[in-house]
Amino acid sequence: MERQFDVVVIGSGPGGEGAAMQAAKHGKSVLVVERYHQVGGGCTHWGTIPSKALRHSIQQVADFRRHALVRSLMPQIPLDVPTLLRSAASVITQQVEMRHAFYERNRVELATGAARFLDPLHVEVAGADGALTRVAAKHFIIASGSRPYRPPDVDFSHPCIFDADTILRLPRTPQSLAVYGAGVVGCEYASMFKGLGIKVNLVNTRSRLLSSLDDEISDALAYHLRDQGILVRHDEECERVEAVDDKSVVMHLKSGKQIKCDTLLWANGRTGNTEALGLAAVGLTPDARGNLAVDEHYRTKVPHIYAVGDVTGPPALASVAYDQGRFAARHLVDPKSSHQLVKFIPTGIYTSPEISCIGPTEHELTVAHVPYEVGRSPFKSLARAQITGQTVGMLKILFHRDTLQILGLHCFGYQAAEIVHIGQAIMAQPGAGNTLDYFIDTTFNYPTMAEAYRVAALNGKNRLS
Ligand SMILES: Cc1cc2nc3c(=O)[nH]c(=O)nc-3n(C[C@H](O)[C@H](O)[C@H](O)COP(=O)(O)OP(=O)(O)OC[C@H]3O[C@@H](n4cnc5c(N)ncnc54)[C@H](O)[C@@H]3O)c2cc1C
């Protein structure tokens, strides 16, 4: 039997959900096909949500441990990774239930199974019980996400070797962790596990941490990770991983160094989930990383087949995937629609300290010969930071010397990922609405972290005189 829909969405992560909801709101009949037994995608089950929930639990314990009164009442707070991971599980359940209700409320049909194209107008859905269903649609939106890249010569079945997906099923608390790859995921996990008092080596294949960040922020991250006791090694490449026994492995680096650990997290690159989609049947070929090329409306080169989210490559963020899904569906409904992502997408990096940035870095402005000035607000001088004891951090505003237009915001420390959105709103104002003066002339709640804007704006403006 063949079923017929206006739109078939493959994948129920943020990209698929955004697309499905938007298409349904415009009256389209929508089927979402998800091969995992629950909705939510990698975002809910293996990525954003569990990693942030785990981080929150670790930070709460670390805060308790720092608190003198709590320490005097309870000198030992026992900590083990499996228990902390269980606390993340309850958030996942809440997210799944909520997302399920969204689909029901918007009358989006869900099919559990793996989707594969048969031809440009049909997919086959293979259920876990082996049942095959043929589905026809006028439009398809591929939102199949990505997975950690696994080099063929590393044995991921070894009990000490994990990737970003499997680390969340760690059955024990490590004593020593080596993280290979110092991208966002590598830095976040290195920082989290150090928070548990575990010995951590962070192996970076590049010469700086997160080199797309503003130099000052990247330097601050390296300083604070080292200050917490993480051994950061730059410009290193793995030659091979040797299994000593089932309790430890040694990572041999091309430089001749050897790192022995009981847990290795391989966090070096991701691959788009395209190999099982039967793309040859529709004439699509992913690139070497398994990603699909799309135009500005998220159309692949087969115009009625769209692709959104991680499967289209960077920036590979849940926040972006959701909007791409919505915009693809809007275009599908109305080809004259021209919704685009905002010019400057914020970066939120949940290391300790937390990092968030938006807009060009100092280096980029310098290379582009933009006459900018800098205003800084170190958190240690904010009353709110002193009260909470969260004094590590800084907000830096980059603004045009002549027009006072805010060009970029770079922040690290407590609540950085929230703080940056205040400046983002002003940066998004048209014309003269985007001005540093807003922060000088505005009365802020006191004491708040937001006050950093006033301090940084005054600091910057004083440099002009
Ligand atoms: C550890 C970690 C931390 C992260 N933290 C953040 C963060 O803090 N903030 C942020 O914005 N982003 C974060 N991300 C990135 C974010 O998780 C992804 O960008 C986001 O999940 C991408 O959404 P998506 O919809 O493209 O794909 P996914 O969320 O991966 O969903 C894809 C879905 O498609 C399904 N699927 C695949 N193939 C098929 C098929 N053939 N048939 C049916 N279903 C299929 C999969 O089972 C999956 O459920 C993090 C990622 C990781 C790994």
Class of residue 132 by CB neighbours under 10 A (exposed 0-12, middle 13-18, buried 19+) = exposed
Q: Which two tokens stand for residue 372?
A: 């900018």
Please give the Cα distance from 350 to 179 (Å, whole number).
16
Q: What DSSP state is assigned to residue 444?
A: P
Residue pair 182/232 in contact by the 8 Å Cβ criterion = yes
What is the tens place of the pLDDT at every residue in 168-213?
999 999 999 999 999 999 999 999 999 988 999 999 999 999 999 9
Q: Which structure tokens are listed for 14?
A: 């943020």
The answer, yes or no, to whether any atom of ligand 1 lies below 6 A from the CB of 145, is yes
Other Cβ atoms less than 10 A from the Cβ of 98: the count is 12
354 CB under 6 A from ligand 1? no
Angle between helix axes 81-105 and 48-66 (nearest 10 degrees) is 140
Q: Which residue has the tokens 């989290």?
A: 192
Measured from the CB, is residue 179 less than 6 Å from ligand 1? no
| Ligand 1 midpoint to CA 47 (Å) | 7
Instruction: Tell which atom from ligand 1 comes closest to the C-alpha of 310.
Output: 26
Q: Is the CB of residue 309 below 6 angstroms from any atom belonging to ligand 1?
A: yes
How far, in Å, are 210, 315, 359, 394, 459 from residue 218 at the CA level? 6, 18, 15, 12, 22
- Is the CB of residue 182 less than 8 Å from the CB of residue 165? no
C-alpha dihedral over 162, 168, 174, 177, to 10 degrees?
50
User: Which long-range contacts does 300-304 make (Cβ < 8 Å, 24+ apart)?
Assistant: 300/142, 302/120, 304/120, 304/138, 304/139, 304/140
- 32: CA distance to ligand 1 center in Å? 15
- State the average pLDDT for the chain: 95
Tell me the whole-structure pTM to 2 decimals: 0.95
Kindly state the tokens that stand for 35. Answer: 């091969």
| Six-digit token string for 151 | 């080099």
Beta partners for residue 264, in sequence order: 161, 178
- pLDDT tens per residue across span 336-345: 987 888 889 9
Which residues on adjacent β-strands are paired with residue 141? Answer: 9, 306
Q: How far apart are CA 398 and CA 413, in angstroms?
A: 18
CA 277 – CA 149 distance, rounded (Å): 18
Round to whole Å and give the CA distance between 323 and 329.
10
Tokens describing residue 207: 């010469």
CA 37 / ligand 1 centre spacing (Å): 15
How many Å separate Cα 463 from the centre of its chain? 35
Residues composing the chain? 465
12 in ligand 1 pocket by Cβ < 6 Å?
Answer: yes
Task: Compute the Cα dihedral for 76, 197, 42, 132 and give only its sign.
Answer: negative
319 CB less than 6 Å from ligand 1? yes
The per-residue pLDDT string of the chain (465 residues; one tens digit each, 9 = 90 and over) reads 799 999 999 999 999 999 999 999 999 999 999 999 999 999 999 999 999 999 999 888 877 777 777 778 776 777 789 988 888 899 999 999 999 999 999 999 999 999 999 999 999 999 999 999 999 999 999 999 999 999 999 999 999 999 999 999 999 999 999 999 999 999 999 999 999 889 999 999 999 999 999 999 999 999 999 999 999 999 999 999 999 999 999 999 999 999 999 999 999 999 999 999 999 999 999 999 999 999 999 999 999 999 999 999 999 999 999 999 999 999 999 999 878 888 899 999 999 999 999 999 999 999 999 999 999 999 999 999 999 999 999 999 999 999 999 999 999 999 999 999 999 999 999 999 999 999 999 999 999 999 999 999 999 999 998
Tokens of 183: 């991208």
User: How many A from CA of 190 to the centre of ligand 1?
Assistant: 21
- HEC assignment per residue over 96-159: HHHHHHHHHHCCCEEEECEEEEEECCEEEEECCCCCEEEEEEEEEEECCCEEECCCCCCCCCCC
Q: Which residues contact 364 (CB under 8 A, 6 or more apart)?
A: none
- The residue among 190, 219, 215 whose CA lies nearest residue 203 is 190
373 in Cβ contact with 443 (< 8 Å):
no
Contact criterion met (CB below 8 Å) for 30 and 7: yes
Indicate which residue's Cα is closest to atom 48 of ligand 1: 41
Crossing angle of helices 14-25 and 81-105, rounded to 10°: 20
- What's the rounded Cα separation, in Å, for the pair 297 and 431? 27
- Ligand 1 within 6 A of 17 CB? no
